[in-house]
Structure formats: structure tokens, C-alpha cells
Amino acid sequence: MKKIFFPLLITAWTVLSCVSLDIPPKNIVSDDDLMGSQSGMSVYLTRLYTQMPWEDFKYIASRGFDGNSWLGCLGVEGTGEAVTRDDICVSFTSESASWWGRAFTLIHDANHLIETLPKYRDRYPEVTYNEFLGQGYFIRAYAYTQMARRFGGVPIVKNEISYPFEGEIEVPRSSERQTWDAILEDWDLAASLLPTVPTFEDTPNRYAALAFKAEAMLYAGSVAKYNEQVAGRLTGLGEKTKVRVIGFAEAEWQECSNRYFAEAYKAAAEVIASGRYSLYRKSWAAGDKEAQYKNMNDMWRDLTSPENILVREYSYPILSHGLDAYSSPWIYRMPLSAGTCPTEDLLELFDGFDRYPDGTIRVTDGASHTLGTYLLFDEPMDFFRNAEPRLRAYVIFPGDVFKKTPIEVRTGIYTGPLPIAPLRDNYDFSQRGRFYQHMAQYTDESNRTLFLSPNVNTGEVTYVDGKTGETVTTWAAGQNGPFFSNAEATMTGLYLRKYLDPDRPLEEIGEGKSDQPFILMRYAEVLLAAAEAAVELSLAGQPSPIGDDMLLVATDAIRDIQNRAGATELSTKLSASLESRDLVRKERRKELAFEQKSKWDIRRWRVIDERNRDGFWGVQTDHRSWSDGNRFAFKGLYPFYSTQAGKWFFDICFENRKTFSYAPANYYFAIPSGEVTKSLYIDQQPNR
């Protein structure tokens, strides 16, 4: 957000005493300086917005809000979107830089604005005054939303007091219901006060408040409903206060869930009805996959997109990030690469692949990827010829072009006979640590038929190509890996494309040199919110809160997104069914991949832990295929070249470096232990 994220140094608000004159020293900024004029308010709002817990390029789930983009990556927190080599690739169960303490600093400053600005009301036109007050409510609502998603019930402070709390002013945690009700009230106040066109460019307007309200209420409605489906009901009272700090009482959860989903639907429906936003289609063309791919590839950098509702802008060297430095393909590593390695599990969500009877992607002519013989392709991209253009805009396929260069991705070279049976004799989760370098085809030096590269420019192989008859000498894994001893190239056979800058020259790739914007909220998410809320309300037997045909609105929203994406469009109207619910969820996972959204979605749906994951994980799966009961893992799509055939084939197996675990208690973060120890009222989460 270019206009509100420029560097400013602002002195503390504490008024220092003066020996003989009751006059503030010249280096103290007063409320009159800041809130008495529009220019002063721009400074104050800048201070608040620089504290906002935006989850963008600078946010890594395991680290929290530490404010840098070291090892910048997206979607690596056990969502199934991607993996990375580093210790940041863990299930989303905590943050090392907790939002708890930082939240109350921001809430204090928002409360100061809300309480103090009325003293200066006569200095502003009414619309301007309302807008500045609305900004305070927006900031407080967002700060509390981020707290509630992590902790459940939290201390609700709606007047200005100091933090950390001391003595008589210490505030206990509210119940989770009270917390979400307070958040709803703030979002409504923000939406009622903010104008449709803000005074300061790229700050939230009325529709941004409504869109974020819809996001928050989807979370609240989901928690109220799906906590009930976690074994033993996920709810509990604080030991110190006996307040229901997580979950909802048995007599209230259904009413709360319906109310929150209704509020989400109303907010999303108003944004849709405004006509102010639309899906990005500047280079889209019906039936033209290349145009549809280009359209979705362009939209992430186009600040004039009609889809953008709220964007955080970057501008090198004032404010920048490091996504390109850490998540580009190996040949562009500066100083690292492949920080975001998309998984085969992500591909399973998308249309355009041949499928086995169980619905999974086909790579052999057998009944599953472990049976039969491999399908052969002239070029790697032939495997993806019918894939959704949206997926191609998100993921760099083996052999596809990035920065005007084909990205050579090859796990290895196979010189054995045809037809080719699956390389591994066991693809079970229990065998995930036994990777290609452990196979007899590679380890038997006297009869080696599989050639691999432990690192770049290693694993030299000479062969006679069965297609051309030429003698070829090359490195087994080519330019971009995977390399089995070096995880700085792709670990899964795939690279991230979404949000990388395809036009940034190589010499400009580096730590802290990237400045493409991050879209915090866009219209597609509003459509998805309306669709999900509509199906959830219909499942509960609830009427539309605004009297329309909710399921028709939901159907049109999903079709609009699928049409723009180049996906297979819905042929029938959505219904009040689990099948429709899961279809909307699947579409949400596809559309919002790598946008810091999926980690929250699968948490609020309560579908990560072992006992609940079978119900929805993008596609229906047998849990034995991905878990040993305690841990789970994700798969890669590994391309090989057959010298005998002169063709390519793909193998699907578990990525062997990363596993994840999750338990129902992890749906809520633990309260920082120091806060619990020093407080008379702050409770640790129940059962921790």
C-alpha cells in the first residue's frame, strides 16, 4: 500500500513533564498535531498501517510477523500446496513471533484514534471525519480477527488502556462467541463509516471492510459448526475464569454458526451487487487456453486490475521483499531457489488430466500409478496439454517457459528396456524415505539403468537416443533438478510461477530486491465467500438473509471463476448438499492457492487432523495412502527421460524430506506462556 507504507519515524505518545513551563517539548508530537488535520491523520494512519498483521510476502507461518522475507515462500505450512527444504516447512501450529503482544499495541493505537478523533470533529467535513474513524474500526477489527483465528476467545479492549496490562486494569479473555461478536460489530462500524472512494490512495474503502468482514464471518461460522465434528467436541473453559475461551456451548453453536454465515453472505452479496469489481479478463479469450493462461499470469502485477479490492504495494528500494530471490527456478538462484515447490497433491485439484477410476491423475496404463507401465510423451509439456490455464499460471511445469527460457526439469534418465514398469516396488507412505537413489536400478553399478544427479553438473550419462539415433552426453538431472543431495532445486518436480516476476532481469533478482504487489483481498475471494456461505446456510435449512436465491448466486459465482480460469464449468445448480459444499471448498483451494488463505481454510474446516481429514482434502482419499496415523506427507510429480523410447514419463511418489503432523489441539494456538504466568486472568488453552 504505497501511500501508507512509506518510512516514518514518530516519537512516543507519552507526554514528558517540563520543569517550569506546561508546554510540550518541540520533539513531542501531540494529538492536536496528528488528529487536528488531514496531513496529521495521514501520519497517524501510516503508523497504524505499518503495524498491521498483513500476511503477504513478508509473512511465513512458522515465524509469524517478524517483518522480513528471509527464505520467502508461499503455501509450505502443511496445506498440500507446496513444500520447501527449510525448517519453516512445518504444520501451522504456532508462530515464533506471536501476534498476541503486538496485537494489543496496535489495538491500543486504534482505540486512541477512536476515542480522541471526536475531539476534532469540527475540523473535518463529515465524510472525511467518518472515514478516519472508520479506519480505526477497520484496523481494530482486522487486529482482533487475526487474534481470534489464532487463539479463540481473547481480551476485548474497546477503550484506551496501556499494554501490558497491570493491576486493576488487567482484562480477562472473553468467550469465543463474545470475541467474534465484538469483531462483527467493528466490521459493521468500519463498513458504515468508510467511503466507497478513500481519501488516501490504496487504503481500505467500504467494500474492503465488507470483503474482510465476509472472510472473518466465514471463519467464525465454520468454527462454531465444525468444532462440533472434532472428536469430543472442540470446546473448553479457561481454568482461571471458567469462561468458554475456545468453541461454543452446545446450546448456542448452531445459532451462532447460522448467524455468522448469514453475515458473511450479506457482506459478500453487497460487494457483488455494487458492480464496482469484476474478475480480471484483460487478455482473456473464450476457448483460448494460451490467452486464459496469459490473463491469469498478468493479473498479479496489474495495479489497475478491476479485481483488486485491497493491495499492499512495494517499491524498491524503500519497501521490498525477496520472493524472486528464494522461489525462482534453480538457474535463477540468487542466492537460493525453489523455496516454493508445488506438490502433485495440488495438481490433483485441477482439471485437464487423464484420471484413474479413483479420480487421481493417471501416469500409467494400469489401474493406479503403481500398476501397469508408464505413459510416454514426446515432450514433458504434452502431459499438461489440457491442464487448466489457471494451474499453468500458478505452477511452472517441466519444460514450460519462464523468463523466455524453457525450464528443464528432469529427475533422471532411464536407459532400460520398454515398456517401463513403475520404478519402485512399493509406493506406500511407510516407504517414502526410500527414494530413487536407493533403487536397485541406480545402485547396481554393473547393471545401472537409472541415472540421477546428486547435485548440479553431476551424474554424467552417455547414451544413444532411441528417437534420433544420436549419441548424447548430458547430466542426468539437467539444469534444474531435482538433485537428490541438494534441495535448493525443486523437491517435487515443479516450481512456483504465481507472483514471481517474469520480466525482472537476472541481475535484479536478489535478497530484498523484489517489489511486485501482494493482493490482500480480491473479488474472486468475495465470490467464493458468497458461494460458501450460501451452501452452508442452505445445508442448515436457513433462508437467504436478503431474500434472494442464494444457491443461484453461489452457482453463478463458481461458474464465473471457473470460466475465467479455463476450468470445467458447473453443469448443474449447486444444492444444499455436502457434494456442493466440497465443490465450493475445492474451487476455493484452487483459486486462492499461494495467497496465504489455504492454511486458514483447512483450519476452520477442521480437516487437518487424522480423524477429520478424510471428509475433505481437495479430493476424497484413503488416509492410509498419505499417513501412518501420526504423520502425513505430500507427493511430487517426477519427470524422467527414456533413452530407448526417446520419450518422457512421469512418476508420482512421496517427497521424501518433509512430513507433517497435526492434532485437534492445534486448531488453536497456545497462549504465550509468559502471558499466562504473569496474569491473574489470562488462561492457557484448555487441555494444554
Contact call for residues 318 and 494 (beta carbons, < 8 A): no
Residues in a beta bridge with 627: 632
Distance CA 688, CA 453 (A): 46
Whether residue 423 is predicted with pLDDT greater than 70 in this model: the reply is yes
pLDDT score for 307 = 98
Mean pLDDT of 476-487: 94
Confidence bin at 7 (pLDDT 50/70/90): very low
Q: What are phi and psi of 654, to 5 degrees?
A: -65, 140
Mean pLDDT of 90-109: 93
Distance CA 359, CA 344 (A): 14
At 102-140, the pLDDT tens digits run: 999 999 999 999 999 999 999 999 999 999 999 999 999
Mean pLDDT of 251-266: 98
Whether residue 11 is predicted with pLDDT greater than 80 in this model: the reply is no
Give the C-alpha distances (Å, rounded to integers) separating 62 from 94, 111, 306, 523.
6, 29, 33, 28
Whether residue 358 is predicted with pLDDT greater than 80 in this model: the reply is yes
Distance CA 338, CA 324 (A): 10
> CB neighbours of 143 closer than 8 A, spacing ≥ 6?
52, 53, 103, 106, 107, 110
Confidence bin at 328 (pLDDT 50/70/90): very high
Whether residue 466 is predicted with pLDDT greater than 80 in this model: the reply is yes
pLDDT score for 629 = 72
Domain ranges of the chain: 1-64+78-275+592-609+662-688, 337-492+633-654
> CB neighbours of 163 closer than 8 A, spacing ≥ 6?
101, 104, 105, 107, 108
Cell numbers that stand for 645 in this block:
523410447
pLDDT score for 621 = 53
Whether residue 19 is predicted with pLDDT greater than 50 in this model: the reply is no
Distance CA 681, CA 45 (A): 32
The one-letter amino acid at 447: N
What is the SS3 assignment for 223? helix
Buried b (16+ CB within 10 A) or exposed e, 50-62: bbbbbbbbbbbbb
3-state helix, strand, coil in the chain (%, to 5): 35, 10, 50
Average pLDDT taken over every residue of the chain: 91
Whether residue 620 is predicted with pLDDT greater than 90 in this model: the reply is no
**What is the DSSP track for 15-79?**
PPP-SS--S--TTPPPHHHHHSSHHHHHHHHHHHHTT----STT-BTTTBS-S--TT--SS-SSS
622 vs 619 pLDDT, higher one: 622
Dihedral class, residue 328 (left if φ above 0, else alpha if ψ from -120 to 50, else beta): beta
Contact call for residues 92 and 77 (beta carbons, < 8 A): yes
At 198-232, the pLDDT tens digits run: 988 889 999 999 999 999 999 999 999 999 999 88
> CB neighbours of 400 closer than 8 A, spacing ≥ 6?
381, 384, 392, 406, 407
Indicate the CATH number for domain 1-64+78-275+592-609+662-688. Answer: 1.25.40.390
Cell numbers that stand for 284 in this block:
482473456
Contact call for residues 588 and 601 (beta carbons, < 8 A): yes
CB count, 10 Å around CB of 515? Answer: 19
Confidence bin at 14 (pLDDT 50/70/90): very low
**H/E run at residue 642:** strand 635-642
At 631-645, the pLDDT tens digits run: 889 999 999 999 999
Of 223, 90, 56, 87, give the one whose Cα is nearest residue 151.
Answer: 223
Distance CA 36, CA 389 (A): 51
Mean pLDDT of 489-504: 97
pTM of the model: 0.94
CB count, 10 Å around CB of 266? Answer: 18
112 vs 165 pLDDT, higher one: 112
N-terminal to C-terminal alpha carbon distance within the chain: 39
At 285-325, the pLDDT tens digits run: 999 999 999 999 999 999 999 999 999 999 999 999 999 99
Confidence bin at 162 (pLDDT 50/70/90): low
Mean pLDDT of 518-536: 98
Give the C-alpha distances (Å, rounded to integers) separating 197 from 141, 202, 683.
20, 10, 42
pLDDT score for 21 = 33
What is the SS3 assignment for 461? strand
What is the SS3 assignment for 377? strand
Contact call for residues 334 and 328 (beta carbons, < 8 A): yes
Contact call for residues 22 and 15 (beta carbons, < 8 A): no
Cell numbers that stand for 152 in this block:
479463540
Confidence bin at 151 (pLDDT 50/70/90): very high
Total residues found in the chain within this entry: 688
Which residue has cell 474500526?
137
